[in-house]
Amino acid sequence: MDVDVDGVDQTVSTGALASWEAVDAHVASAFRRNRDHAEGSVADYIPILAAADPELFGVCAVDVGGGVHTAGDTEHEFSIQSISKAFVYALVCDRFGHEVVRERVGVNNTGLAFNSVVAIELNEGHPMNPMVNAGAIATTALMPGSTADAQWVAVQDGLSRFAGRPLELNQLVYQSEAATNQRNRAIAGLLESYGRVELDPLEVVDVYTKQCALNVSAHDLAVMGATLADGGMNPVTGEQVVSPEVCRDTLAVMAANGLYERSGEWLFEIGLPGKSGVSGGIVTIAPGKAGIGVFSPRLDSAGNSVRGQRATAYLSRALGLNIFASEAHRVTSAPAEHEERR
Ligand SMILES: NC(=O)CC[C@H](N)C(=O)O
């Protein structure tokens, strides 16, 4: 992962987020430092996504107190794509609990692309984790509702509660993907053959395709992330969307799998759970502190927004958010206290 954190102190904050003004200034810097970075390419395997303006770029942080910090195109709406997987997973965990979901869907990284069929075969039909297409389809199949329509309503309503506003289906994206999602249909059929999907696989894929086509903005993603950061309480509406235990489990799965086969690199550079999607969004969670939503359509070869990763790396470093860092690891150019005394 190519990040730009030159000149940024690796400060470590074990307490609350920095002051309001400091967060605003760092969000503005994350935007400014990366807006001219033009590496990567816009996804085109879903035809309509190829029409996205590659220059769009937004960075938003929402703290657990509900404070909003924005720079760039943070109100521009785009289809949520794979980021939906994290939130549908949380809803299903809330319904079935930790053990059932761990057994049925799994939590381990495949090390392979998000739409890999080989990964299913290599693991005897186990979908492995909810952040790849196979696991996400198996997870959506567990949403409440006796019909596909009822399950779709539950998905739309659940994700809207995370966002704190009604999210709408992007019909153009849905139709474009529904016409070209033969691979996801094959994945669902394969899961059915292994007894991992008990409903009509084509109906489940249809609900999954709609879930990926829900429109969000970077601002929405930050609110959704802040809800996971705050033990399931939406900081804007005050609603308890899922339990703190579900947030804990969801964040662990995101940390291990949220950026597909690049999840290790992401964790190494950024040290926070995150989830990306092929339209160019990434949501990141600083537990107990904030949600970060970024959007820019140019992707790396794994399908993760390039500017989005860079902006998030900057914020993690500048705001001291890395969960693996502690005061003992503080990197500072000033001499340590015991050296000064000598
Ligand atoms: N990585 C993604 O965002 C993929 C989501 C997309 N809807 C798919 O199923 O292929």
Q: Does the structure show a pLDDT above 60 at 280?
A: yes
Residue 8 falls inside a structural domain: no
% of the chain exceeding 90 in pLDDT: 82
| pLDDT tens sequence across 86-99 | 999 999 999 998 88
Ordered alpha helix ranges (H), 213-278: 218-229, 244-257, 263-270
Q: Using the atom order of ligand 1, give the atom closest to the CA of residue 279.
A: 3
Catalytic residue among 62, 173, 223, 260: 260
pLDDT of residue 329: 53
278 is catalytic: yes
| pLDDT tens sequence across 207-224 | 999 999 999 999 999 999
Q: How confident is the model at residue 5 (pLDDT cuts 50, 70, 90)?
A: confident
As given in the structure block, the two tokens for residue 57 are: 């770029």
Ligand 1 neighbourhood includes 281 CB (under 6 angstroms): no
Residue 136 falls inside a structural domain: yes
How far, in Å, CA of 149 to CA of 308, rounded? 33
Mean pLDDT of the chain: 92
Q: Does the structure show a pLDDT above 60 at 339?
A: no
| pLDDT tens sequence across 6-53 | 777 665 565 667 787 889 999 999 999 999 999 999 999 999 999 999
- Region 235-255 average pLDDT: 97
pLDDT of residue 54: 98
Q: What is the dihedral of CA 103, 109, 114, 120, to 10 degrees?
A: -50
Distance from first CA to last CA of the chain, Å, rounded?
40
* Binding region for substrate: 82, 133, 177, 184, 208, 260, 278
pLDDT of residue 100: 84
Residue 140 φ/ψ, nearest 5 degrees = -60, -35
* Domain CATH number, residue 311: 3.40.710.10
pLDDT of residue 331: 47
Residue 141 falls inside a structural domain: yes
pLDDT of residue 47: 95
CA of 36 relative to ligand 1 center, distance in Å: 26
Residue 272 falls inside a structural domain: yes
Q: Does the structure show a pLDDT above 70 at 203?
A: yes
Residue 14 falls inside a structural domain: no
Residue 5 falls inside a structural domain: no
Residue 1 falls inside a structural domain: no
pLDDT of residue 21: 85
- Region 273-297 average pLDDT: 98
How far, in Å, CA of 121 to CA of 341, rounded? 62
- Region 275-295 average pLDDT: 98
**What range defines the domain where residue 131 resides?**
20-319
Residue 143 φ/ψ, nearest 5 degrees = -65, 150
Residue 270 falls inside a structural domain: yes
| pLDDT tens sequence across 149-195 | 999 999 999 999 999 999 999 999 999 999 999 999 999 999 999 99
Ligand 1 neighbourhood includes 81 CB (under 6 angstroms): yes
Into how many domains does the chain fold? 1
How far, in Å, CA of 223 to CA of 167, rounded? 13
